[in-house]
């Protein structure tokens, strides 16, 4: 929302800029609605873990630097309107009404393509699109606007050719170019003017401008002009994921497609292919090359941000893009224009016709997503690996290849392979227990000296305002560590707050088995996890009904029962040295903690037990030699005050404990590292 004023301790003060509001409302309000938000304005938080998603930078690229999270819908107050809504919003509302009769998948895709609204795209749809490399269909990008401009240009040029006398007085190319710019601007305006839409609009208009000047071959100039305009208006767009993907794809299309088309010319035949068939085959070959190049150009960035690379994307895009973007999208845009002139029956007819290619395109996507091996889950590449990959791609197809270019390509390939294989060749020499910075809960990764891997999760009761299920820190950290398999996943308590994250682990990693100590109020995310694992014969096992592995290699595991309504704690022992991991205790007093025999090398406990009042009881009952505090301790001096033993807070960065025969050492990760 656009901020106009905020209430300070000294009264209402004017404000400017955009504010991200996360509120439990069925759908966002109409554009132009007056709102009063009763909440605390905060900066977007970034978890301090290696491999974590840089959410503040992602939001800053779209001009969002502050956010408000609301748990109560009553704190979002809609003001009475004294004037009508903007014309564009009324038009968007009319399009939504026309799409109500369409099937859910077609409606969700049309809402995304025409209005930039992805609110109805289900998780299953996103997974299908991701596995087939067609997620770009949901985002209004240069491909969407380019297709609209292309269809309008050729239709306009064809109509102008029908009037030979008119061609003697006007330049048909320039007229068609001007006409092609009109639906591009209209499309971007109706779609709401999101940052990605604005970027795509600038890219397409920059190229149309060069075509109007009679210099259509200056594609590098068009790309540079678009980048200059976008970054001049908003320099932080450089860190936008869509900006990087779009410019990488376009740059390599300009660089590689002409060379590959020339290198793959059809051999001369004794009986040449007829003219029409030859042109059709050439266009199919050209379209296939474009799909290959776009996939190769964006593969490392897709692996960096999404950890999924589609193997069937090249073939699926050959079918999906013509059906969705060349047929369904222009018909949908024509329906929007018809609705703008109050021609509702015409708009209904166009959408009725457009839903057929849209349905066919999604059926192809859905079928391909179900093919085994349609996509692979990749570890997160480093920027060194990405630079080496692009160096290989550039040097192998360099226009004038010499010994130096081949040597450079070989060296870049060697760097790429070494950087990818190095994490796999190293093995830990001690037991490693890593506690990650998380959204209030315990998220840990245990790696044994034999390179066996366990993950531990325990979360406080779910509440609105937390990130969506699956956005926990575990997947990003495990991808950063280049792990592909996990031996064990232990949820000390299983609820809506961590079921989505465990589902992400099940989908992206080979997990040996899932165990949980307590189940709290199951909901949709829990049943999604149970159904997904049940289909694969790996249903989560309850600790009291099954036999939790007592050891993983030389590392012993033991559940410690704390209270009837509290999740159990997990004790990890190696070479006689023990580490105890306590879950969020839901108000359980420190006096109720059990007394353990001997002393602990390390204790991992929630921030609610790190107060000065509870500290003496903890030291007397558990006798830890080192303490790690997870959760948000806030600014309370009682929590941050010195402990009698070394103490580290995961809120300051992920903490790794290394246990061997000589004792325990700790290392805390810092963002600058």
The reported pLDDT for the residue numbered 638 is 52
Confidence of residue 269 (pLDDT cuts 50, 70, 90): very low
pLDDT tens for each residue of 186-222: 888 877 666 777 777 888 888 888 888 888 778 888 8
pLDDT for residue 144: 77
| Residues 545 and 630 grouped into a single domain | yes
Average confidence (pLDDT) over 276-297: 80
Report the range of poorest mean pLDDT among 84-88, 252-256, 382-386. 84-88
Domain identity same for 477 and 542: yes
Give the residue from 361, 628, 379 showing the smallest Cα distance to 481. 379
Q: Say how far residue 346 (Cα) sits from the centre of its chain.
A: 37
Q: Tell me what pLDDT residue 62 has.
A: 81
Same domain (yes/no): 510, 628: yes
Transcribe 350-419 into DSSP letters: HHHHHHHHHHHHHHHHHHHHTSTTSEEE-PPPPHHHHHHHHHHHHHHT-SS--HHHHHHHHHHHHHHHHH
Q: Residue 288 and residue 314: Cα distance in Å, rounded?
A: 7
Q: Is the pLDDT of residue 274 over 70?
A: no
- pLDDT at residue number 546: 54
For every residue of 271-295, DSSP letters joined together read SPPPHHHHHHHHHHHHHHHHHHHHH
Residues whose CB falls within 8 Å of the CB of residue 111, separated by 6 or more in sequence, listed in order: 96, 99, 117, 118, 119, 120
Q: Which pLDDT value is given to residue 495?
A: 84
The answer to whether 492 and 516 are in contact (CB under 8 A) is yes
Report the pLDDT value the prediction gives residue 454, as an integer from 0 to 100.
92
**One domain, residues 461 and 608:** yes
523 and 408 co-located in one domain: no
Residue 103 resides in a domain: yes
Q: Are residues 211 and 79 in the same domain?
A: no
Give the structural domain span for 392: 383-425
Asked whether residue 36 is domain-assigned, the answer is: yes
Query: Where on the phi/psi map is residue 598: left (φ > 0), alpha (ψ -120 to 50), or beta?
Result: left
Percentage of residues in the chain with pLDDT exceeding 90?
A: 11
Tokens linked to 165: 């006398």
* pLDDT at 615 > cutoff 70: yes
**Among 63-67, 151-155, 610-614, where is mean pLDDT lowest?**
610-614
Rounded Cα distance between 151 and 158, Å, is 11
Co-location of 93 and 81 in the same domain: no
**What is residue 272's predicted lDDT score, i.e. its pLDDT?**
53
Q: Pick the range with the lowest mean pLDDT from 79-83, 213-217, 607-611.
A: 79-83
pLDDT for the residue numbered 433: 93
In a domain, 249, yes or no: yes
- Separation between Cα atoms, residue 8 and residue 624, nearest integer Å: 45
Residue pair 92/115 in contact by the 8 Å Cβ criterion? yes
Count of domains for the chain = 4
Measured over the CA atoms of residue 222, residue 224, residue 227 and residue 231, the dihedral's sign is negative
Q: Is 458 helix (H, G, I), strand (E, B) or coil?
A: strand
Alpha-carbon distance 542 to 155, whole Å?
A: 64
As a residue count, the chain comes to 673
Take residue 314 and report the two structure tokens written for it: 């090249």
For 26-59, how does the pLDDT look when each residue is reduced to its tens digit (9 = 90+)? 666 777 788 888 888 888 888 899 888 888 888 8
Residues 417 and 529 both lie in one domain: no
Position 634 scores a pLDDT of 63
pLDDT digits (tens, 9 = 90+) for 507-539: 889 988 888 888 877 778 888 888 888 888 777
Q: Model confidence over 303-355: pLDDT tens digits?
A: 888 888 888 888 888 888 888 888 888 888 888 888 888 888 898 899 899 88
Task: Report pLDDT for 673.
Answer: 45
Task: Kindly report, residue by residue over 582-592, the tens digit of the pLDDT.
Answer: 988 876 777 77
Residues 297 and 391 in one domain: no
Residue pair 331/350 in contact (Cβ under 8 Å)? The answer is yes
Between residues 435 and 526, the one the model is more confident about: 435
Q: What is the mean pLDDT of the chain?
A: 83
Return the percentage of the chain with pLDDT > 70, whole number: 91
Strand ranges (DSSP E) for 476-633? 485-486, 488-491, 510-511, 514-516, 541-542, 551-552, 555-560, 569-574, 577-581, 602-606, 627-630
Q: 639 vs 76, which has greater pLDDT?
A: 76
Is residue 540 within 8 A of residue 516, CB to CB? The reply is yes
- Which is more confidently placed, 428 or 98? 98
- pLDDT given at position 639: 62
In-domain check, residue 283: yes
- Domain boundary (66, 85, 104) is at 85
Q: Classify residue 673: in a domain, yes or no.
A: no
Answer yes or no: is pLDDT of 382 > 70. yes
Q: Within this chain, do residues 621 and 477 fall inside the same structural domain, yes or no? A: yes
Distance of CA 317 to the CA centre of its chain: 20
pLDDT value, residue 82: 63
364 and 470 within one domain: no
Q: What is the pLDDT of residue 478?
A: 92
In a domain, 605, yes or no: yes
Q: Above 60 in pLDDT, residue 637?
A: no
**Which of 425, 456, 488 is the endpoint of a domain?**
425
pLDDT at 657: 92
Question: How many whole angstroms separate alpha carbon 580 and alpha carbon 569?
Answer: 7
Shared domain check, 399 and 459: no
Distance separating alpha carbons of residues 131 and 376, to the nearest angstrom = 8
Residues 358-373 have a mean pLDDT of: 89
């Amino acid at each position: 929302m656009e901020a106009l004023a905020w209430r300070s301790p000294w009264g209402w003060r004017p404000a400017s800029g955009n504010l991200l509001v996360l509120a439990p409302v069925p759908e966002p309000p109409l554009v132009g609605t007056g709102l009063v938000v009763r909440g605390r304005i905060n900066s977007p938080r970034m978890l301090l873990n290696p491999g974590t998603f840089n959410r503040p930078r992602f939001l800053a690229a779209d001009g969002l630097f502050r956010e408000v999270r609301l748990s109560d819908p009553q704190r979002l107050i809609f003001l009475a309107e004294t004037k009508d809504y903007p014309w564009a919003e009324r038009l968007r509302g009319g399009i939504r009404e026309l799409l109500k009769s369409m099937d859910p998948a077609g409606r969700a895709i049309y809402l995304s393509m025409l209005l930039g609204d992805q609110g109805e795209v289900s998780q299953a749809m996103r997974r299908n699109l991701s596995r087939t490399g067609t997620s770009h269909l949901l985002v209004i990008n240069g491909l969407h606007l380019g297709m609209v401009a292309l269809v309008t240009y050729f239709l306009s040029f064809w109509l102008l050719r029908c009037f030979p006398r008119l061609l003697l007085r006007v330049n048909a190319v320039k007229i068609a170019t001007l006409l092609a710019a009109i639906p591009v601007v209209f499309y971007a305006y109706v779609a709401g003017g999101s940052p990605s839409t604005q970027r795509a609009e600038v890219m397409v208009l920059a190229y149309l401008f060069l075509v109007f000047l009679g210099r259509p071959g200056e594609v590098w100039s068009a790309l540079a002009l678009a980048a200059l305009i976008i970054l001049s208006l908003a320099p932080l767009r450089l860190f936008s994921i869509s900006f990087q993907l779009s410019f990488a794809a376009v740059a390599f299309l300009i660089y590689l497609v002409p060379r590959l088309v020339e290198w793959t010319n059809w051999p001369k035949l004794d009986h040449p292919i007829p003219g029409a068939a030859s042109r059709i085959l050439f266009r199919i070959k050209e379209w296939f090359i474009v799909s290959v190049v776009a996939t190769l150009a964006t593969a490392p960035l897709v692996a960096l941000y999404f950890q999924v690379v589609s193997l069937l994307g090249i073939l699926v895009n050959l079918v999906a893009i013509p059906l969705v973007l060349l047929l369904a999208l222009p018909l949908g845009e024509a329906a929007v224009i018809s609705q703008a002139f109050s021609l509702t029956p015409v708009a209904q007819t166009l959408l009725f016709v457009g839903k057929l290619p849209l349905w066919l395109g999604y059926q192809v996507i859905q079928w391909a997503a179900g093919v085994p091996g349609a996509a692979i889950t990749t570890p997160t590449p480093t920027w060194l690996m990405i630079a080496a990959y692009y160096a290989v791609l550039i040097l192998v197809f360099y226009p004038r290849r010499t010994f130096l270019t081949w040597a450079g390509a070989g060296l870049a390939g060697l760097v790429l392979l070494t950087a990818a294989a190095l994490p796999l060749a190293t093995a830990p020499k001690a037991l490693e227990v890593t506690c990650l910075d998380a959204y209030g809960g315990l998220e840990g990764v245990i790696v044994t000296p034999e390179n066996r891997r366990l993950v531990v999760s325990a979360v406080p009761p779910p509440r609105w305002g937390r990130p969506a299920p699956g956005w926990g820190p575990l997947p990003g950290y495990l991808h950063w560590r280049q792990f592909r398999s996990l031996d064990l996943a232990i949820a000390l308590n299983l609820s809506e707050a961590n079921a989505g994250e465990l589902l992400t682990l099940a989908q992206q990693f080979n997990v040996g088995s899932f165990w949980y100590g307590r189940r709290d109020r199951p909901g949709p995310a829990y049943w999604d996890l149970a159904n997904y694992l049940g289909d694969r014969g790996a249903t989560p096992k309850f600790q009291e009904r099954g036999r939790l592995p007592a050891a993983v290699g030389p590392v012993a595991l033991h559940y410690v029962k704390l209270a009837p309504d509290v999740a159990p704690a997990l004790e990890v022992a190696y070479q006689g040295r023990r580490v105890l991991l306590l879950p969020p205790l839901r108000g359980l007093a420190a006096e109720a903690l059990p007394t353990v025999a001997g002393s602990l090398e390390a204790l991992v406990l929630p921030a609610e037990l790190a107060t000065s009042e509870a500290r003496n009881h903890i030291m007397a009952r558990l006798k830890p030699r080192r303490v790690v505090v997870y959760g948000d301790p806030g600014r309370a001096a009682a929590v941050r005050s010195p402990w009698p033993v070394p103490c580290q807070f995961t809120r300051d960065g992920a903490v790794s404990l290394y246990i061997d025969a000589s004792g325990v050492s700790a290392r805390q990760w810092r963002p600058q590292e």
